[in-house]
Structure 1
Amino acid sequence: MPPTESGTSSGSEEAFAHPREASPDDALDDTLDLHLPPEVTAMFSAEPITAEPITADPAGSPRAGFLLDDVADWGPATTHAGPFQLVPVRLDRDLSLISGWMNDPAVAAFWELAGPEEITAAHLRTQLDGDGRSVPCLGVLAGLPMSYWEVYRADLDPVARYYPARPHDTGLHLLIGGVADRGRGLGTALLRATADLVLDHRPQCGRVIAEPDLRNTPSVAAFLGAGFRYCDEIDLPGKRAALMVRDRAHRHLL
């Protein structure tokens, strides 16, 4: 199961929680452990998609954009800090950068991916080699990569066992990489921009959801500031989480 924002001990709203809520032996540890329904898998027997894989990785699946409406093609969103865009991760290009962020103590406290690069690589490969229900991305602000995101199909994720999921619910996990980018309101602005990107480009998605660690009060506050509502508390493997929901129907009211 993916994360949300990285460390919070410093009081920074941008240090958010990690997606790994379970131990390696737990069946719910992996975002990709659920089976797709037959009507979905049948669609993969059609002619191959000719567009470039959203991972931009030669090892990535050419169908990686199917379940999330081609994240790679969403384009930028406007924020007060400049244009912001989700760029699907390419392992050969991005591993060192993301692994460095994972070794920041504020991030490691929630993501639990500190250590050699191979630890982060294994986490990324699980998604890159999967069926596309979770897409790892760099968050690029004004041309510079400064955050890590996972956009995932919450209705196809183990988290769906813990809340009343609806078809096409889309989840977000994130961390702000650089210390200089934390604590200045970017988390709220980027969460709002990214939720808007999801709703703009995924017409069948009625809700964007997240499940930050309940103890991570700056993260919860950032979601609230971005137009999410505090919907419930749920017990996930490894954490008690705040279920945050941003509804399409209310997006212009919050």
Structure 2
Amino acid sequence: MPPDAHTTAPARRDAVYEQVVEGFGTIRVVPVDPPADAELIHSWVTEERARFWGMLDASVPRVLELYDYVDSLDTHHAYLVHRDDRPVALFQTYEPEADPVGECYDVQPGDFGVHLLIGPTAGASERGFTAALLSALLAYAFSDPRHTRIVAEPDIHNDKVIDRLLRTGFTLGPEIDLPEKRARLLFLTRDDR
């Protein structure tokens, strides 16, 4: 091991998407590396503010197991979202026809599912942070021409997220019963952005 190895920063991972947001910074969408990221993800999903993520009691090994499983799928993907090289959110995508949500509504060609968990802030919240981050993530989701409609299914009690999605242009769909929650479907088409 080189003598300065303990002071060397970890290698910067390749991003699947990168966008410079004027006045906000550079957003990078980086695939989750389960062994490297399990502790960070665990620290986020076990906070009370993340209760709708459904992992409050998860251990680090359980988080690792779940994200190893997601990493093994071709239809589901997990990403850490970095702002200027600092992880600030967990973003997950999925193909609804390959997910339990697809059994609860009429999946259309081009539907693309998303989940977003904003990481904890270091200090006071920043006005416009979520809007800027969500805008970049939706740009990423729609960067694939096959994706014509974004699907989200927050817990029906997660009023904050439902309100944020409505303000972003999503339209309300029906309530559905998923194995882990009662959810509200929301949809955003390319034309609604």
Identical columns (%): 29
User: How far apart, CA to CA, are the structure 2 residues paired with 1:121 and 1:241?
Assistant: 25
Q: Deviation at 1:250?
A: 2.5
Q: What residue number does 2:157 align with?
A: 215
Q: Is the 8 A contact 1:149 1:173 kept in 2?
A: yes
Deviation at 1:115, TM superposition (A): 3.5
Q: Please report how far the alpha carbon of residue 80 of structure 1 lies from its aligned counterpart in structure 2 after TM superposition.
A: 4.6
State the SS of the aligned residue for 1:76: strand
Partner of 2:10: none
> Is the CA contact (8 Å cut-off) linking 1:191 and 1:223 kept in structure 2?
no
Unaligned runs of at least 5 residues, structure 2: 1-12
SS at match of 1:209: strand
- In 1, distance between residues paired with 2:156 and 2:139? 24
- Partner SS state of residue 221, structure 1: helix
State the superposition RMSD in angstroms: 2.2
Q: TM-score, normalised by structure 2?
A: 0.83
Greater relative contact order structure (CA < 8 Å, 6+ sep): 1
**Partners in 2 of 1:176 and 1:203 — Cα distance?**
26
* CA separation of 1:197 and 1:79: change in aligned 2, threshold 3 A: farther
Partner of 1:125: 68
- In structure 1, the residue matched to 2:26 is 83
Which of 150, 172, 176 pairs up with 1:234?
176
Q: How does the TM-score come out when normalised to structure 1?
A: 0.64
CA contact under 8 A between 1:134 and 1:153: conserved in structure 2? Answer: yes
Cα distance in 2, alignment partners of residues 242 and 182 from structure 1: 26
Check conservation: 1:189, 1:226, Cα contact below 8 A: no
The alignment covers a number of residue pairs equal to: 180
CA apart distance, 1:197 = 1.3
Relative to structure 2, which stretch is displaced further, 228-237 or 213-222? 228-237
How far has the Cα of 1:152 moved from its partner?
Answer: 1.1
> Contact (CA 8 Å) 2:35, 2:64: kept in 1 or not?
no
* Distance of aligned partners of 1:115 and 1:204 in 2 relative to their CA distance in 1, 3 Å threshold: closer
Where 2:18 maps in the other structure, the secondary structure is coil
Equivalent position SS for 2:147: coil
Any stretches of 5+ residues in structure 1 without a counterpart? Answer: 1-55, 57-70
CA drift at 1:170: 0.9
Q: What residue number does 2:110 align with?
A: 168
- Greater fraction of residues in strand: 2
